[in-house]
Each structure stands twice: as structure tokens, then as C-alpha cells.
Chains A and B, each alone.
Chain A
């Protein structure tokens, strides 16, 4: 068996395979639900209902998608330049930390505080990825290793701060930071709906990244460096500078996920701020084939699966690990479906 590229995949193939992937997910989830003693035929309905069946559910999905759009964009931008940023998680926490610091320590009025927090977050995230990028360019250190390890280092640093200087004195001893003031929180996108401006910002970021990629010299340079660094260098493209710029952009985008979670949703910093948004960002970016606008779609899909499966496990009263398995099956079968729209399996 081998794979053969498919040129100009038909619409049926491009739509049918992802639908098939969803069907597989539903079947697996149903079987698991049946084993756990729930009504298997209800699971699909429950997942859909949980993800998008009501205004509340839909907004919950979009809220959940917001940080994934940011981390997905961060990964997509970096991977385009073949800069393997596995550290969106660390950059997210760096952004969240700066958001809390600026929001709680400086006492700025709301309209000033919000952009100040965002800028500080972007700067922090960019700096967190700058280190691995410089190490890669100067000493040839593999950025996969450095960015991955920085995730754990960052979590430990946050943990230390939350147990020490940044601990909320009113927090009943829990390791969490003091909340940022009400007027420094991101406003609702539409009055009365539980969806904050972080989502709007994520959409703006996606469109901006897309424009950068197709319209600017930086985007052209990033693509050239990613596809053939030797030819890029020969043509006079400043390869190292482009990689540094890519790192700053990617780190800044990932940090906005932390900013938006703290300033838009949670209000403070805790150690469970991100249930792996940085890592899931890799899945989101891969599902989107590194396309910035595709990232929005795939982030909403992935968030929907998370939210829907969780809601299903609660409603059907089955263990939450069934939700986790459903999410894993959904992502794997979707990745496979996307692979199969580009390649067909041939015998021999």
C-alpha cells in the first residue's frame, strides 16, 4: 500500500471525507456511551446540542475557540517558516502573566489598561520565543526541544509566583493571582451575549496574519525561507532576520491567547488557565493546513468537539473520559480525512 497524490480533489471528496470522519466519531462515541450504559442514539444529538444546539452552547464553543485561534495562528505562522514552535503553551502563560501584572500592579484606568496589558502580553510572548530562535540561529540548538521544555519551565515559574509574590491575599489560600479590576476586563462583543471581545480580536488577528502572508514582503520572505532557505539566502533574503521576525510574531500571537483568557474570561491567573491550548493549537494549525483563515474554522470545530463531548458526558451521565476519547477520535479521523483528500491509497 502506498499514497499517491490526488490532483484537484473533487468536491465530493473534499466534503465527503470530513463528514465521514464526523460519522466515525459519532459511531465510536455512541458505542462507548452504550458500554457506559447510556442510550447510544442520543449521543450524537447530545454532542451537537452541547456544541451548537443553543445560543448558550454556541457562545460557549466560540469562547472556547478564542484561545485556540490565537495558538493555532501562532503555530501556523511559525511552521510556515519551518520554525517548529511547540511552545505556544509557555508563550500563552507569559502573556497571561504580563496581563495580570499590568492589570493589577500599575493601577491604570480601564481604557489605558486594556491596550497596555495586550502590548505587554505580546512583548512577553515574543521574548519567550526569541530565546529559542536565537539559540537555533547562533548555536544550532533544536527549537523543538527548547520550546517544549520552556512550557514546563514557564508553568513552574507561574506556580512559584502564584504560591509567593503574586498570591491573592483574598484567595482563601488557593494558588491564584488577584483579579484584574472590572474596568480592565474585555467588554462583551455584543451586549447581553456571553461572548467577549477576545473572539473579535482573534478574528482580526486571523485576517491580519492572512494579509501579512499573501500581501506583504514579510509574508513572502517567511514562505521563501520555509520552502527553501538556501535559495532564499542566495537571493538576498535576510534569512536569520526573517526567522527572528517570525518568532516574534508567533510568540506574540500565542501570548494573546493568555491575554484574552485572563482579560476576557477568567479575570485572574491560575495554573489551570490553559488545558493545553498551546498543544491543541498545533492540531488546529495542522487541520487548517497552516492557512490563517482555516485556523478560525478548525479552532471552532475543535472547540465544538470539546464542548459538545463534555456536555454529552454530563447530560448522558457517562464518565468524562468518554468525552476525552471522543475528542481524540474526532481529531485523529479528521486529520486522516484531510490527508485522504490530498492522497489516495493505492495497492502495490
Chain B
């Protein structure tokens, strides 16, 4: 049945190329008044490029954007905003030292007019918060707000500017489950009042929960369009990756010798981040050791220790049965530790280096990549091309800068770089955070395969489901302390939650 509601936003034939990579290939769809349209796609499918074109940050090579029947001039960031399209970015654009009201008012008034008209503004903000269920204290400094509250301010900001179309880019990536539910309630209220919403995501259950209609993007093209009521998660996933999806179900582990052992190891705290407090842990061959915990409870300290950035300040630290004397990133690499860092942009890669240069970042100093201080770029390029091929890294080529890659493809290169050295110990810190289903299962399968090949894997994740699915033994961290190891299947999420909240350690230690 055709949708008879008026079209508020229409994209037609949007095409954008970056070199040889076609990020958007003749994408077109219409958004109707009062609907939630989900834009679903893997990382690198072209979602972000499309939104950048809509907001005039990029100029499309072809195609048109119409808002309320009026064509938007290309390449003018103000045009979409003026036409009533508001965007809530994944990374917030708020000033921490200003209040909520001030953040909302910024840019809404001409510079030469004195005063902000606060009283009037406050009344409107209060009305908007009430109408849309966006509870937030108008005079609170943004710095003091939680992530969920910041997102509400971003939405209020758009509503205050009379947005009729609201675009949310991966809005739930930073929210707790409770905050996500509150957000969905707000979105329902918004469409009931005649707003239209584009919900960008790669999380299937959220798309199913909140949207009326789904557009699936794959490799820069519209791979399908379907009413949410007529589909299910499984079929959406297939449309998204173009193949069937399965969940990891690793076989039973056969744990071997301890390849890395910590006995009452402590590390110094760093800023507000706790160090390790007398942690004892054995990473065994052929086993995935999962580390659960609320973010910022010492997981970073353990990751830094394993990857070589930090040396123990107390306790016994053994790698491959020998006590470690000098510990550094290079020593860790030489000891056979493969590392997948938490932040692939800031730590895992150098954005302005080519894929080739990034591929040899950890072993450029060894033959065949260099001899007596001279680089062998041919060998390096061959290595990069092998990783690109074996790990299915989608990119314009080995000489392209890595900043052009999507998160998932960047992660595949980092994974390949770590695994190609056949590491005995693997540190995987949040290896699938922000990845789409295709890349996610790929990375998880590779980790399981490495385990089956006899590697000791340390998996750190804030996603308890991921920890439960993959780990053969689970430890919980709280304030730098480590729980005993719980074998697979012996603890429920609720029981682990108790440990995550910091209880139980007193009897255990």
C-alpha cells in the first residue's frame, strides 16, 4: 500500500566517488511525515557519506536532495538546517563549560543583538522537554551530564531550531539499555507530533523496535527497502551482509600451558584510571580468557600491561615461563604478543599512513621489511596486499591512506597485522566495538580460530553477551581487582553483574 502521507525529505540518485571507491551509488529514497525510517547498513556501506551530502559537508557527484519539495543547494552546510533538518551526531557537539540552555541557544540569535532572551527560551525548552519526555535540568553545566543526558540536549537543540526532520546517527552506541528505552519513547512521541525521523544504525533489534520502514544499504547501494512489520532480524541481517549470518558457537576449548602469568601484579594508576591491584591471572594456550567489567575499572591497565606499554610495579610477571625483566611494546611483540588495541584510530593505526605503511608498523624494523636501516617497500607492500586479500579488507588499494577506510575494514587490517605474525598470546581489547555484523562475526571467528590454533586469547569487552558467547573462562574486574576465573557456563549474567558492581572480592582475595 503506498504511503499517502506527504514526503518531507527526498533523495534522488545520490552518487559520490572517492578516487576509485564509490561510496554512494545512485541512492534514492523518500521520508514521509510522521514515520521513523531506519537506515541500516554495515560500516562502510555509505551511511555517513550520505548524511554528509545531505548536510552539505560533501558535494555529491550526482543527484538531488529535496526538503519539503524544495531542492537543497549542494555544498552548503547551513541549508539543511535552515530547511528544518536536524542531526544528532554520534559524537556530541556540545560545549562542556556552558549550561544546557546556553548550549541550546548558541547560534540561534544574531551576534549583534544583546542578551539571550533566557526567560523566554527557558519556557520553550521546558515545554519541549515535557512534550517529548526529554528530562534534563536546563541550568546544569553540560560537563556534569551523563552521556544519555547529553544526547537529550542534542535532541532538544534540534527541536528548539524547529526541526521537522530528525536524523540520529548511531544514537544508541553510547547508551545503557535503560537510556535506550527512554530514547525510543521520545522518538515515538516525536513522530506522534508529526516529526519525521531517520534512524541510522547497524543494530538489528533496535531497528526492529523503533522503525516503521527500513532501507538497507550495502556497498553504497540501496540493497532493499521493507516495512518493518513485514520482516525480521534474520532477514534484515541477510540483506545487510548479502549472506546468511550465524552466531559464534565455539567448540570446547582444550586449554594448555600458561603462556602469560601474573602473580599478585600491581601497576601504578594513571590519572583517574586505576592501576592493577595485586592481580593474579594465567592466560592459557588454546583458551579464550574473557574480561568483563564496567568500563574504566582497570581493564585499560591490564591491556597496557599485556601490550607492553606499562611494566609491573610489584608482583611476578612471567611470559612463556620466564620472568620478564624488561617490558616494552617491542618486547611484547618479540615475546609473541599480538595486540588489537581498544582505539583503532588513535592507537592502532596512523591515519595519514598508507595501508602498506600501517601494515608494517609493528615489524618494520625486521627483515624482510628492512635490512640495516633500509626499508624494503616491495616486501612491505606484498605483506599489506596479503593481509588485504586474506582478511577481506575493502579499500582502494595498498597505497591508499588508511583514513579512507571504514572502521570495520581498518580493524580487519589491524587484526591481520596482529595475526599474521602467528602470535602465541593475543590481546583483543574491544575488538568488535562499533563494527557491523559482517565484520563482527569475521573478527570473532578469527579469534576462535586463533584459539583453536593454540594461542592464548585475552578478550576484553564491555559487552557481556560477547564475553559470555566467546570466553572459555571469565574474569571480572572492579576497581583494579580481578575476580577468580569462572569456567564457561558456570555463571549467569546476573551473577557476573554482582561481581561487576564490586561485590564478592572481599571473600575471594
Q: Which of A's residues lie within 8 Å of B, judged by CB?
A: 4, 215-220, 223-224, 227-228, 230-238, 346, 348
Chain A residues lying within 8 Å of B357, measured Cβ to Cβ, are: 220, 224
- Chain B nearest CB, measured from A208 CB (Å): 13
The reply on B365 being an interface residue by CB < 8 A is: yes
Restricting to B28-77, which residues have a CB under 8 Å from any CB of A? 75-77
Chain A residues lying within 8 Å of B132, measured Cβ to Cβ, are: none
Q: Tell which of A215, A228, A235, A348 touches B329, judged by Cβ atoms closer than 8 Å.
A: A235
Contact B375 A217 (CB under 8 A): yes
**Docked CA distance A218–B365 (Å):** 10
The reply on B136 being an interface residue by CB < 8 A is: no
**Docked CA distance A236–B351 (Å):** 17
**Docked CA distance A217–B380 (Å):** 12
Restricting to B331-377, which residues have a CB under 8 Å from any CB of A? 332-333, 339, 341, 346-353, 357, 361-362, 364-365, 370, 373-375
Chain A residues lying within 8 Å of B339, measured Cβ to Cβ, are: 234
| CB-CB under 8 A for A217 and B373, given A227-B353, A233-B309 | yes
The reply on B186 being an interface residue by CB < 8 A is: no
**Docked CA distance A209–B373 (Å):** 14
**Docked CA distance A223–B357 (Å):** 10
**Docked CA distance A227–B352 (Å):** 7
Contact A231 B76 (CB under 8 A): no
The 10 closest A-B pairs by CB, nearest first: A236-B330, A236-B329, A235-B361, A228-B350, A234-B347, A217-B370, A235-B362, A348-B76, A227-B350, A227-B352
**Docked CA distance A231–B352 (Å):** 12
| CB-CB under 8 A for A228 and B346, given A220-B357, A234-B309, A236-B329 | yes
Contact B373 A236 (CB under 8 A): no
Contact B75 A231 (CB under 8 A): no
**Docked CA distance A227–B353 (Å):** 8
Contact B374 A215 (CB under 8 A): yes
Chain B residues lying within 8 Å of A227, measured Cβ to Cβ, are: 350-353
- Number of residue pairs spanning A and B whose beta carbons lie under 8 angstroms apart: 66
The reply on B328 being an interface residue by CB < 8 A is: yes
Q: Which residue of A lies closest to B348 (CB)?
A: A231
Contact A231 B347 (CB under 8 A): yes
Restricting to B291-333, which residues have a CB under 8 Å from any CB of A? 307-309, 328-330, 332-333
Q: Which of B's residues lie within 8 Å of A, judged by CB?
A: 75-78, 307-309, 328-330, 332-333, 339, 341, 346-353, 357, 361-362, 364-365, 370, 373-375
Contact A234 B373 (CB under 8 A): no
**Docked CA distance A304–B375 (Å):** 37
Q: Which residue of B lies closest to A229 (CB)?
A: B350
Contact B328 A236 (CB under 8 A): yes
**Docked CA distance A218–B329 (Å):** 18
Chain B residues lying within 8 Å of A233, measured Cβ to Cβ, are: 309, 329
- Chain A nearest CB, measured from B354 CB (Å): 11
Chain A residues lying within 8 Å of B373, measured Cβ to Cβ, are: 216-218
Looking at chain B's contact residues, the main secondary structure is: loop
Q: Which residue of B lies closest to A218 (CB)?
A: B373
Chain A residues lying within 8 Å of B362, measured Cβ to Cβ, are: 235-236
Contact A236 B375 (CB under 8 A): no
- Chain A nearest CB, measured from B67 CB (Å): 17
Contact A230 B346 (CB under 8 A): yes
Contact A234 B333 (CB under 8 A): no
Contact A234 B341 (CB under 8 A): yes
Contact A224 B308 (CB under 8 A): no
Contact B346 A231 (CB under 8 A): yes
Contact A217 B347 (CB under 8 A): no
**Docked CA distance A174–B469 (Å):** 84
Chain B residues lying within 8 Å of A4, measured Cβ to Cβ, are: 75
**Docked CA distance A217–B352 (Å):** 17
| CB-CB under 8 A for A224 and B365, given A215-B374, A236-B329, A236-B333 | no
Chain B residues lying within 8 Å of A224, measured Cβ to Cβ, are: 350, 353, 357, 361
Q: Tell which of B75, B308, B346, B350 touches A236, judged by Cβ atoms closer than 8 Å.
A: B308
**Docked CA distance A237–B329 (Å):** 8
Contact A220 B364 (CB under 8 A): yes
Chain B residues lying within 8 Å of A218, measured Cβ to Cβ, are: 373
Chain B residues lying within 8 Å of A346, measured Cβ to Cβ, are: 75
Chain A residues lying within 8 Å of B346, measured Cβ to Cβ, are: 228, 230-231
Q: Which residue of A lies closest to B352 (CB)?
A: A227
- Chain A nearest CB, measured from B43 CB (Å): 20
**Docked CA distance A81–B75 (Å):** 35
- Chain A nearest CB, measured from B256 CB (Å): 27
**Docked CA distance A235–B75 (Å):** 39
- Chain B nearest CB, measured from A286 CB (Å): 18
A-B contact pairs, 30 of them (CB 8 A): A215-B374, A216-B373, A216-B375, A217-B365, A217-B373, A217-B374, A217-B375, A218-B373, A223-B353, A224-B353, A227-B352, A228-B346, A228-B349, A228-B351, A230-B346, A230-B347, A231-B347, A232-B361, A233-B329, A234-B307, A234-B339, A234-B347, A234-B348, A235-B329, A236-B330, A236-B362, A237-B361, A348-B76, A348-B77, A348-B78
**Docked CA distance A228–B341 (Å):** 15
Chain A residues lying within 8 Å of B364, measured Cβ to Cβ, are: 217, 220
Chain B residues lying within 8 Å of A231, measured Cβ to Cβ, are: 346-350, 361
Q: Which residue of A lies closest to B78 (CB)?
A: A348
**Docked CA distance A235–B329 (Å):** 6
**Docked CA distance A230–B341 (Å):** 11
- Chain B nearest CB, measured from A290 CB (Å): 13
**Docked CA distance A227–B350 (Å):** 7
Q: Tell which of B341, B347, B350, B375 touches A215, judged by Cβ atoms closer than 8 Å.
A: B375
Chain B residues lying within 8 Å of A237, measured Cβ to Cβ, are: 361
The residue in B76, B78, B374 that gathers the most chain A C-beta atoms within 10 A of its C-beta is B374
Contact A216 B374 (CB under 8 A): yes
Q: Which residue of A lies closest to B19 (CB)?
A: A7
**Docked CA distance A218–B375 (Å):** 9
Q: Which residue of B lies closest to A224 (CB)?
A: B350
**Docked CA distance A231–B417 (Å):** 14
Q: Which residue of A lies closest to B328 (CB)?
A: A236
**Docked CA distance A219–B308 (Å):** 24
| CB-CB under 8 A for A220 and B77, given A228-B350, A230-B346 | no
**Docked CA distance A231–B375 (Å):** 19
The residue in A231, A233, A235 that gathers the most chain B C-beta atoms within 10 A of its C-beta is A235
Chain A residues lying within 8 Å of B333, measured Cβ to Cβ, are: 236
**Docked CA distance A238–B331 (Å):** 11
**Docked CA distance A216–B328 (Å):** 23
**Docked CA distance A223–B364 (Å):** 13
- Chain A nearest CB, measured from B355 CB (Å): 14
Q: Which residue of B lies closest to A235 (CB)?
A: B361
Chain A residues lying within 8 Å of B349, measured Cβ to Cβ, are: 228, 231
- Chain B nearest CB, measured from A244 CB (Å): 16
- Chain B nearest CB, measured from A20 CB (Å): 25
Chain A residues lying within 8 Å of B77, measured Cβ to Cβ, are: 348
The residue in A223, A236, A238, A348 that gathers the most chain B C-beta atoms within 10 A of its C-beta is A236
Q: Which residue of B lies closest to A219 (CB)?
A: B375
Contact A234 B375 (CB under 8 A): no
**Docked CA distance A29–B364 (Å):** 52
Chain B residues lying within 8 Å of A217, measured Cβ to Cβ, are: 364-365, 370, 373-375
- Chain B nearest CB, measured from A69 CB (Å): 24
- Chain B nearest CB, measured from A321 CB (Å): 40
**Docked CA distance A4–B341 (Å):** 33
Q: Which residue of A lies closest to B380 (CB)?
A: A220
